[in-house]
Amino acid sequence: MKQPLRFGLIGHKFMGKAHSQALHDVSFFFEARFEPVRAVLCGLEDDLPEAAARYGWQRWTHSWREVVADPEIDVVVIATPGNTHCEIAIAAAEAGRHVICEKPLALDAEQAARMCKAVERAGVKHLVNFNYRRVPAVQLARQLIEQGRLGEIYYFRGTYWQDWPLDPAFPFVWRFDKAIAGAGSMADKGSHLVDLALYLVGDIVEVAATTEIFVRERPAPEGAARRVTTDDAAAFLARFRSGAIGLFGTSRMSAGHKNALGFEVNGSRGSLIFDLERLNELQVYFVGDDRAARGFRTIMVTEPVHRYVDRWWPPGHVLGWEHTFIHQYYEFLHALETDTLPSPNFHDGLKVQRVLDAVEQAVAEKRWIGVPEGT
């Protein structure tokens, strides 16, 4: 008999929908001792009851404090704008709930460090939803690097392009407000890239950076235009502890690109290339291959030997974006079952935040900035 695990999800929009679907599917495809129960959905807007019914939640509430205080709830999931993460996560941990939080973990490293302390003190499990780690092709990339198939890593290039607010008439939303979002493309998209870089290549020790806001005012729904205070695009350089160097680019103003996250890793014995818009594939090049037949080749990462894939479909029956959320929940349930710390956890989120803070400082001071050490 599976043990019910009761979830409270705070946030019912795009991310709320993605988390709801993953909670619905995870135990169908993956074996775990726990059965997620969609107990209570929380949000502020009028369409909440409709969302709760559609996504299969038993109850809904407009109050996150009610969710956190509810003794029936085992896990609180935070899928709200960045400025709310710290307060909710700390309250949830103090109430003894396990905590899953959307990325980036907080507005800055100071908040992220307080969140880490709170979950450690409470002894609860914690996870930050850098979901792109959970793409099978990204898992394969990590495996190849760990096995030394790329040799010594020289270079990581990560880029993340979108174009949703390209039109200057696109209205002012919370992502344009620094007080709510912390930063713009640099934090929203850059946090994913930095997490992947840390996961694949290791610690970043210093950064140099620049950012820009191309559309400085946006029409506000309430009338007058509002000033945009978060970056539309960012570019930064990094040095890894290993001696590798990194090049990062993010933009929400890259015409034609919808959700184009990509990275390339070059080493002394080979290279690999990943493109989220072709997420079932990984391109690889190995120096050791027979010279006549050497070249980049594309691996379809849909074989049962690839991570997570044996729970899904036969080879070539491709996976999509939403599967990354399901895999993340599987990792979380598995960590609960084995009493281990899930990954990426709040400590990983804090490391990313330290890099992002350094990027912000590098922009302000127009110089290289060291990234503080620590877990």
**Binding residues vs ligand SOE (CB under 6 A):** 162, 188, 259
Q: Measured from the CB atom, is 259 or 340 closer to ligand SOE?
A: 259
**CA gap 129, 11 in Å, rounded:** 14
Give the angle 149-334-306 at the CA atoms, nearest 5°: 30
- Between strands 153-161 and 260-267, the pairing is antiparallel
Q: Measured from the CB atom, is 280 or 324 closer to ligand SOE?
A: 324
Q: Measured from the CB atom, is 188 or 360 closer to ligand SOE?
A: 188
Q: Measured from the CB atom, is 162 or 211 closer to ligand SOE?
A: 162
Minimum distance of ligand SOE from residue 191's CB (angstroms): 8
Minimum distance of ligand SOE from residue 145's CB (angstroms): 23
Minimum distance of ligand SOE from residue 189's CB (angstroms): 6
Nearest CA-CA partner of 358 in 216, 184, 187: 187
Minimum distance of ligand SOE from residue 193's CB (angstroms): 11
Q: Measured from the CB atom, is 98 or 103 closer to ligand SOE?
A: 103
CA dihedral (262, 265, 266, 271) positive or negative: negative
Q: Measured from the CB atom, is 36 or 184 closer to ligand SOE?
A: 184
**CA gap 10, 38 in Å, rounded:** 12
Q: Measured from the CB atom, is 188 or 357 closer to ligand SOE?
A: 188
**CA gap 106, 329 in Å, rounded:** 21
Q: Nearest residue to ligand SOE, using CB?
A: 188
Q: Measured from the CB atom, is 27 or 251 closer to ligand SOE?
A: 251
Residue 114 φ/ψ, nearest 5 degrees: -65, -35
Contact yes or no for 371/358 (Cβ under 8 A) = yes
As a whole number of Å, the end-to-end CA separation of the chain is 38
- Between strands 153-161 and 204-212, the pairing is unpaired
Q: Measured from the CB atom, is 63 or 259 closer to ligand SOE?
A: 259
Length of the chain: 375
Strand order in 153-161's β-sheet? 297-300, 281-286, 270-275, 260-267, 153-161, 245-251, 233-240, 204-212, 369-370
Minimum distance of ligand SOE from residue 297's CB (angstroms): 28
**CA gap 324, 21 in Å, rounded:** 11
Minimum distance of ligand SOE from residue 160's CB (angstroms): 8
Minimum distance of ligand SOE from residue 22's CB (angstroms): 13
Minimum distance of ligand SOE from residue 206's CB (angstroms): 25
Q: DSSP secondary structure string, 283-349?
A: EEEETTS-GGG-S-EEEE--STTSTTGGGS-STT----THHHHHHHHHHHHHHHHHT---SS-HHHH
Reduced to 3 states (helix: H, G, I; strand: E, B; else coil), residue 183 is coil
Minimum distance of ligand SOE from residue 126's CB (angstroms): 18
**CA gap 350, 129 in Å, rounded:** 13
Report the chain's C-alpha Rg in angstroms. Answer: 21
315's tokens:
């080879």
Q: Measured from the CB atom, is 70 or 188 closer to ligand SOE?
A: 188
Minimum distance of ligand SOE from residue 259's CB (angstroms): 6
